[in-house]
Each structure stands twice: as C-alpha cells, then as structure tokens.
C-alpha cells in the first residue's frame, strides 16, 4: 500500500509539471502580398511560428490549436536621387495576431532594406517584397507577440 501511494504521488508530481502542447492549426492572411505562392506563404509562416513556439512551449501534432493571422503587411519606402545617384530605404512592417488558449496576442515586426544605385533604373518603384525582408519582419512580429 505504501509503494502504491508513493508511486501515485510521483506520477502526480510529474504530470503537474508537464507543459501544454501546441500546434499551428491555421494561418490566415488579411494582408496583401504579391508574387508569393499562397501555399508556400502558409507553410513558411507555419514553419517559422512552430520554430519560435518550440523555444518557449512544447510543439506536437495533436496539441492545443494556435491560429496565426497576418493582419497587415506594409511597405513604405522613401529615398532621394541626385543625378545618376539614387538611394532608397524600404521598410517591411508585419502586424500579426496569434490566438492561443482562447487569448489573442498581437505583435509587430519591422525589417529595413536599403538600396543604393548609380546609373541603374529600378524596374518597379514599389520594389516587390523581398522574401528575406518579409520573413525577418514576420519573425520579429511573432517574437513580439509571444514575448520571446
């Protein structure tokens, strides 16, 4: 009887310290991003989110659902040109909401890209989203929301 009681106490203490397990169930995109395949976009956001979640929580296949919503993707740019010289700075700003345990966590991340040119004409004034710039801003917004 004594061994049974000790075994039950030990099992109870082990489970009381266990952490919730999470999985990214859905990625929603309310932002507008051109030139990126929606399926690759969803998989990329899911992968980055799971990577960051694993730093603080346990990630498993059948865990509590996590829903990531990309609220907005902004890309303001400014610059100047003087004769043949041109300099532009583009910010990529990503705002997200993460729903975890029926609570919403908001985050914002920013990444800067600088372009300098001489005698080169930029094809597109808006400069399409650079994938590495977007993923950097996304990662910062996720870290901001999850307090990592």
The string of pLDDT tens digits covering residues 66-116 is 999 999 988 888 887 787 788 888 888 999 999 999 999 999 999 888 877
CATH number at residue 25: 3.30.160
| 126 assigned to some structural domain | yes
Which of 25, 103, 17 minimizes the C-alpha distance to 64?
Answer: 25
| 86 assigned to some structural domain | yes
For the chain, how many structural domains are there in total? 1
| 46 assigned to some structural domain | yes
Model confidence over 130-142: pLDDT tens digits?
A: 567 888 888 899 8
Q: Note down the domain range covering 104.
A: 19-146
Determine the Cα–Cα distance for residues 130 and 13; give it in Å rounded to an integer.
Answer: 49
| 124 assigned to some structural domain | yes
| 4 assigned to some structural domain | no
Q: What is the DSSP letter of 27?
A: E
């Amino acid at each position: 009887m004594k061994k049974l009681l000790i075994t039950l106490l030990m099992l109870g203490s082990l489970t009381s310290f266990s952490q919730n397990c999470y999985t990214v169930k859905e990625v929603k995109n309310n932002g507008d991003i051109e030139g990126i395949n929606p399926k690759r976009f969803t998989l990329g956001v899911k992968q980055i989110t799971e990577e960051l979640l694993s730093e603080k929580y346990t990630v498993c296949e059948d865990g509590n659902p996590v829903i990531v919503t990309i609220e907005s993707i902004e890309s303001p740019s400014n610059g100047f040109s003087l004769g043949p010289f041109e300099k532009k700075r583009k910010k990529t700003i990503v705002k997200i909401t993460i729903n975890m345990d029926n609570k919403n966590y908001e985050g914002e991340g920013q990444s800067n890209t600088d372009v300098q040119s001489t005698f080169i004409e930029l094809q597109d004034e808006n400069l399409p989203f650079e994938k590495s710039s977007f993923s950097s801003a996304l990662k910062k917004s996720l870290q901001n929301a999850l307090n990592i």
